[in-house]
Structure 1
């Protein structure tokens, strides 16, 4: 009994402690005048409001969050201390009852959020059951619908709220807003969306008739997205004369056939923006937009049309003629557009300034299939009579009004012979990224010329070669071609972009072309207006000295995530460069010219320059160039981004922190000066001694040396002719990357062993197409092979094309195989780690490789492991 009493007393103490939480301990004030007491079920509403009242003089809280606190009732006494609050959020609780006059004296309240509770606000008498202050401007009531009583529920009468502007409420099936809403002249926004603030709201309207919204005559913004709508009456919105924004997105079973009815009633409104996205489920065959679907759009005042995620594959010929002349913004992302005659009628977008067509033909998460309603085609409630604007005579007349850019096609037209503008003539912004476009960008004239477009984003496609020229686009200032697997840029590609200021080329394969003598100096030489150039992640190991010739306006240069060991580019023309990103390279020092240029530019422009050398190796040395660079780092350490985390090394190669680095650099002159004379004298002495010894040995053995040089030349520069057969197979089980010195191992060991397993191999000697660029052959071989096998040897590391093949396969694994490793490394012999690049070392540390051995038992195990890796 004694222990039971102690246990009971202990439980009492715990409960007493929980019930005595203080608001100042558990509420947060992240912003001025905002108090957040959400997620604290042991904080009573009375205690919080008392706290607000007591601190109101010094804190002046006007916004209060009380969500997820488990409240079930609200009384007048509970909230009397909160009467000074302007915005009150009490959503996501369990509130069933609110005392009638609880909010009556809230004379400052403008926003009240009661969403996702259990309030009986949709009843037959259309009364809330509690009084709201007339100062209220925003009211949120959604998430309170009781499905079991839905047939008996009605929208509440809120006509007493003479200042109400924004109402968020649940959508009721087969119900209409009462006539009292005609009196609410300030109500401009009504949202019934089933998707509210990232949560699944409650909206089950299903059928929108002529009476559903007829009393919302003052509303300008109407959101009925995700409301399970099946059909819309042809006159559903004609009484909403002030309507400017209509959102019908997320009604998966609505379909395009209802767009005709929607646009019919929108003729009588002041509509500006229509969102008709996701009116089909995500999966299934593609859709075609017909002339009938768009029949009444031409007579509306729409300036923005959104048709995202509708699986649109084709648009019927001449349908674009019905695009309204008022349209300025067109969004059609996440569709399945394929080429058709409608592409030759894009000029019918007479006044469109912005087009967004990103994410075409993308793969969707298959788990969405079960979550979305299945497509059905219910009977139409009502439709308009046969549309007179779909007739050929009217369409021809409309096309003539729109001008020569909008051509009408009759049945006998040969589309390919018609010289039409491809871009709308007023288009200024085009986004078409992540669309799986796989093209070689050859020369292409864009009509009309010159074109006013200013912004193009074609990133994350497969535009693997940029030959050009394309355009011209004399007004473009932003061009993004990143993540396109491009390895070649033509000399004239950028001729049409001479005024571009922001050029985004990251995550391509431009390393070789930028260092090439035939291309490097000329690719950017006409881009004198570029201010921001992004070349990160382009496998750049060296820059041509004239690659930035004539780029006098360049301010920000991003060369991060490459393999640059030393700066080789001339900086004479870079008179505005003040931001340089060299993160994740192999930089050890920067040349004096570059450092002086950054200093002088910053001083002349009255700005601070910045350099990012994060994840480079920065050793301390006594070389004069190294000393200048180290002193520069210390002097401008505040200009070095992330300086404290740089990879510093002392003269012994040990890692040191930034503080130790600074101390050693300060004493660098003293430490290096001690050995200057000794080093010079010793160097001269050793040089003289070695010259005498080597000279004597060369003279004594001059004939033997000549013989050895001749034999070495024959050995290393000879060749072995291989018989090969033509191979029409375009997909291989493996692409073998090897140095020619290891050819015997390939021919005698690997090929016979793999061909026994009926594996198809790709060899550069056998399958590379003659006349093609080597880099292109390599990339195609890797992409057409399930695995890339690198036969690693000392000779392999000496061959730039071998290293190039390794890096291409590594990039393929990272960016194109969804994280699946397609690279297998066979270590043929003991290779010193110092001979390997950082990328290869990192790869071998994080991925398993296979070592070859000539030992009989070991060789059997090697081939078993190798075949297992190939077939994985």
Structure 2
């Protein structure tokens, strides 16, 4: 009997032990590993269908990863959820089932996990909102705070977010809700309104939300701190598609409105968006939006707004109209406007942001804007600005007073532009710590800027990033190059930085210039002497050239004519093609025509005359025709008058005739004075000619006319 009792007792002990063991653990599909410490038990499983692992009921964190062996995940997920759901795991706080190709979740699957705080089912794109409803069912019985359900709805396109899910979450303590990349076009009525008031962080990025009145229910979330509405009207994150540019077209006719006018119109969908947000919101991320206007209109924050951080980068806002109006408790400290292809900023756009400490306008197209003088006012309202990023803007120059009102500036990034010279004043920037002007076209820095940086370096560490610029390596720039290597300022250069004017890097160029420029200093006194001698010689050449300019011009044209085979002298019996070239102003043509008729139709002696409107070669330069006419005529008859003195080409003909006399050593000019001209109106050359030579006066009566013809013909006929 004693033996039987002993066996029964042993059997009972074993039974009790096995029962207790069953209560202490359960089995889960997959190959699981467990790690623990004094407070937490963490289990990580992979997807092995043919394996089941014992899991402690005290597990606090469960992480499931997809199969390494590429098994049938649908069967695996059914297995996992069958083993996991409805277990009474009172200490389980974190469940991560992301990226496991889940297709279904039993309703109320997680409702028994009373300590559950963090649930992630993201990147199971075939779940859909029906299964999100199942997952949320019963979460009001848990301590849920963080729910991640991004990229779970690729079942239906432009699906509305269901109200019934919000109603399940209303009485929870949810703080974080991520519903990104779910093809949501709009919420059902009340779907946002009934979300829990405890929500602090919401992400709906990558959906297809439009600014409808239902979306403005977001203002009901009184505890919301961070909102991410980026990349609306785009596909989900994992489809590598380029962002589209969509121009907003209002319902009403805007054919009579400019872009600026529309940006200021109350119908602009962006105009009132800040006012609809809850006053508790501190961080707004709205990057990569593609709908709406192509400019930033006037914006205003709501009463009591606590907004500190705004990111509206990558939105295609090519013009910033503004201004951004804020309430008296303005808290906006960070503004990101990068990657917008912006080309213009209205004056006053930033003026109300007096507490802004960080501004990023990099990756725009503001180079032409900063060339304009009015751009110097763009930052004048930013009294608290500490960090300014202006890189990648195609900037070649900026106004000197651009930062004149930003006395608290600590960091300035103007790198990766086309900046050719530095002219930004920094003497008032007593808080400055860092300047990044790398990857520009700077050859040097002005001494005033170097002195300002040296002064600042006495009280704090100053960093200057100057790599990949076009540093000029010459003796004239040696002072700057020395400063780069000896200053207390920490100057960042690249080993690959090349020097303009030297075949090698900046370090080698520095050593070379120190030697070569030292040799040149011993001969510095020669340079001014050489310069003076050169200037004296050039002055003499200029004076001589000026005095002989008409002879030079005449000989040059004559030389070119001869190069082309023209040889008038000796080309006829007496060596000249014409008896006379007539030089006159068009205003005197009536009298000249009488001279032509008399001389060419004389029965006794017929003269061959050269007249510009008749005998000049069409298509040739006038100057060439004049030189040729003067040189190929025995005489040049000048009809002097006030009109003649005013004519550029008449004066040119006279100068060429004078040069011909000097060059050929013969009397070639016959001067006929058509009217009395005071000496004060005569040019110096004409006055000198009158003083040295005789002339023929225009006849006043018939008797004088006969004498005039006889005299003129005689002078022309006799060389």
Whole-angstrom CA distance in 2 between matches of 1:679 and 1:292: 90
1:307 aligns with one of 146, 166, 179: 179
1:635 corresponding residue in structure 2:
486
Which 10-residue stretch deviates more, 316-325 or 422-431? 316-325
1:865 corresponding residue in structure 2:
none
State the Cα distance separating 1:345 from its structure 2 match. 2.3
The CA RMSD over aligned residues, in Å, is 3.9
1:808 corresponding residue in structure 2:
none
- Contact 1:583–1:613 at 8 Å: present in 2 too? yes
Q: For the structure 1 residues 264 and 442, does the alpha-carbon distance in structure 2 shift closer, same or farther, using more than 3 Å as the test?
A: same
- Contact 2:31–2:52 at 8 Å: present in 1 too? no
- Write out per-residue CA displacement over residues 240-296 of structure 1, whole angstroms, 9 at most, x where no aligned residue: 221111112223222223444433411111111011112122x86211113233222
State the Cα distance separating 1:216 from its structure 2 match. 1.3
Whole-angstrom CA distance in 1 between matches of 2:283 and 2:226: 5
1:666 aligns with one of 510, 514, 520: 514
State the Cα distance separating 1:521 from its structure 2 match. 1.2
- Contact 1:439–1:465 at 8 Å: present in 2 too? no
Q: Work out whether 1:524 is the aligned partner of 2:379.
A: yes
Whole-angstrom CA distance in 2 between matches of 1:344 and 1:141: 41
TM-score, scaled to structure 1: 0.52
1:676-695 matches, cutoff 5 A = 676-694=524-542
Whole-angstrom CA distance in 1 between matches of 2:293 and 2:420: 33
- Write out per-residue CA displacement over residues 418-455 of structure 1, whole angstroms, 9 at most, x where no aligned residue: 99932221111111222335634344242413521111
1:290 corresponding residue in structure 2:
162
Q: Work out whether 1:432 is the aligned partner of 2:286.
A: yes
1:854 corresponding residue in structure 2:
none
- Contact 1:206–1:227 at 8 Å: present in 2 too? no
2:125 aligns with one of 236, 240, 252: 252
- Write out per-residue CA displacement over residues 781-811 of structure 1, whole angstroms, 9 at most, x where no aligned residue: xxxxxxxxxxxxxxxxxxxxxxxxxxxxxxx
- Write out per-residue CA displacement over residues 219-240 of structure 1, whole angstroms, 9 at most, x where no aligned residue: 1112233444444444333322
State the Cα distance separating 1:155 from its structure 2 match. 5.5
Q: For the structure 1 residues 317 and 556, does the alpha-carbon distance in structure 2 shift closer, same or farther, using more than 3 Å as the test?
A: same
Secondary structure at 2:202 match in 1: strand
Whole-angstrom CA distance in 2 between matches of 1:685 and 1:490: 56
Whole-angstrom CA distance in 2 between matches of 1:127 and 1:610: 53
2:365 corresponding residue in structure 1:
509
1:739 corresponding residue in structure 2:
none
Whole-angstrom CA distance in 1 between matches of 2:515 and 2:316: 53
State the Cα distance separating 1:310 from its structure 2 match. 0.6
State the Cα distance separating 1:689 from its structure 2 match. 3.7
- Write out per-residue CA displacement over residues 555-574 of structure 1, whole angstroms, 9 at most, x where no aligned residue: 22111111111112222322
- Contact 2:352–2:381 at 8 Å: present in 1 too? no
State the Cα distance separating 1:305 from its structure 2 match. 0.5
1:145 corresponding residue in structure 2:
48
1:271 corresponding residue in structure 2:
144
2:90 corresponding residue in structure 1:
217
State the Cα distance separating 1:498 from its structure 2 match. 2.1
State the Cα distance separating 1:531 from its structure 2 match. 1.7
State the Cα distance separating 1:487 from its structure 2 match. 0.5
State the Cα distance separating 1:490 from its structure 2 match. 0.8
1:688-727 matches, cutoff 5 A = 688-694=536-542, 697=545
1:452 aligns with one of 306, 312, 337: 306
Q: For the structure 1 residues 136 and 313, does the alpha-carbon distance in structure 2 shift closer, same or farther, using more than 3 Å as the test?
A: closer
Q: For the structure 1 residues 200 and 550, does the alpha-carbon distance in structure 2 shift closer, same or farther, using more than 3 Å as the test?
A: farther
1:574 aligns with one of 410, 429, 436: 429
State the Cα distance separating 1:511 from its structure 2 match. 1.0
Whole-angstrom CA distance in 2 between matches of 1:195 and 1:550: 60
State the Cα distance separating 1:488 from its structure 2 match. 0.3
- Contact 1:343–1:422 at 8 Å: present in 2 too? no
Q: Work out whether 1:493 is the aligned partner of 2:365.
A: no
Whole-angstrom CA distance in 2 between matches of 1:509 and 1:691: 49
- Write out per-residue CA displacement over residues 490-510 of structure 1, whole angstroms, 9 at most, x where no aligned residue: 111112322222211111111
2:277 aligns with one of 384, 398, 423: 423
User: Number of paired residues?
Assistant: 497
State the Cα distance separating 1:189 from its structure 2 match. 1.1
- Contact 1:122–1:145 at 8 Å: present in 2 too? no
2:332 corresponding residue in structure 1:
476
Q: For the structure 1 residues 296 and 141, does the alpha-carbon distance in structure 2 shift closer, same or farther, using more than 3 Å as the test?
A: closer
Q: For the structure 1 residues 671 and 346, does the alpha-carbon distance in structure 2 shift closer, same or farther, using more than 3 Å as the test?
A: farther
* Higher RCO structure, 1 or 2 (CA under 8 Å, sep 6+): 2
- Write out per-residue CA displacement over residues 571-630 of structure 1, whole angstroms, 9 at most, x where no aligned residue: 2322222322222211111001111111111213xx22222222222232233xx23312
Whole-angstrom CA distance in 2 between matches of 1:318 and 1:127: 43
TM-score, scaled to structure 2: 0.62
Whole-angstrom CA distance in 1 between matches of 2:399 and 2:178: 46
1:648 corresponding residue in structure 2:
499
Which 10-residue stretch deviates more, 249-258 or 476-485? 249-258
Q: For the structure 1 residues 132 and 346, does the alpha-carbon distance in structure 2 shift closer, same or farther, using more than 3 Å as the test?
A: closer
1:42-121 matches, cutoff 5 A = none
Q: For the structure 1 residues 138 and 700, does the alpha-carbon distance in structure 2 shift closer, same or farther, using more than 3 Å as the test?
A: farther
Q: For the structure 1 residues 330 and 546, does the alpha-carbon distance in structure 2 shift closer, same or farther, using more than 3 Å as the test?
A: same
- Contact 1:253–1:280 at 8 Å: present in 2 too? yes
State the Cα distance separating 1:489 from its structure 2 match. 0.7
Whole-angstrom CA distance in 2 between matches of 1:678 and 1:291: 91
Secondary structure at 2:401 match in 1: coil
Q: For the structure 1 residues 566 and 288, does the alpha-carbon distance in structure 2 shift closer, same or farther, using more than 3 Å as the test?
A: same
- Write out per-residue CA displacement over residues 75-113 of structure 1, whole angstroms, 9 at most, x where no aligned residue: xxxxxxxxxxxxxxxxxxxxxxxxxxxxxxxxxxxxxxx
Q: For the structure 1 residues 672 and 557, does the alpha-carbon distance in structure 2 shift closer, same or farther, using more than 3 Å as the test?
A: farther
- Write out per-residue CA displacement over residues 201-226 of structure 1, whole angstroms, 9 at most, x where no aligned residue: 99413895898233212211122334
- Contact 1:277–1:307 at 8 Å: present in 2 too? yes
Secondary structure at 2:439 match in 1: coil
Whole-angstrom CA distance in 2 between matches of 1:552 and 1:127: 61
Whole-angstrom CA distance in 2 between matches of 1:630 and 1:418: 53
2:688 corresponding residue in structure 1:
none
Whole-angstrom CA distance in 2 between matches of 1:429 and 1:127: 41
Q: For the structure 1 residues 559 and 154, does the alpha-carbon distance in structure 2 shift closer, same or farther, using more than 3 Å as the test?
A: closer
1:554 aligns with one of 409, 413, 417: 409
Q: For the structure 1 residues 432 and 671, does the alpha-carbon distance in structure 2 shift closer, same or farther, using more than 3 Å as the test?
A: farther
Q: Work out whether 1:620 is the aligned partner of 2:473.
A: yes
State the Cα distance separating 1:368 from its structure 2 match. 9.3
Q: For the structure 1 residues 204 and 264, does the alpha-carbon distance in structure 2 shift closer, same or farther, using more than 3 Å as the test?
A: closer
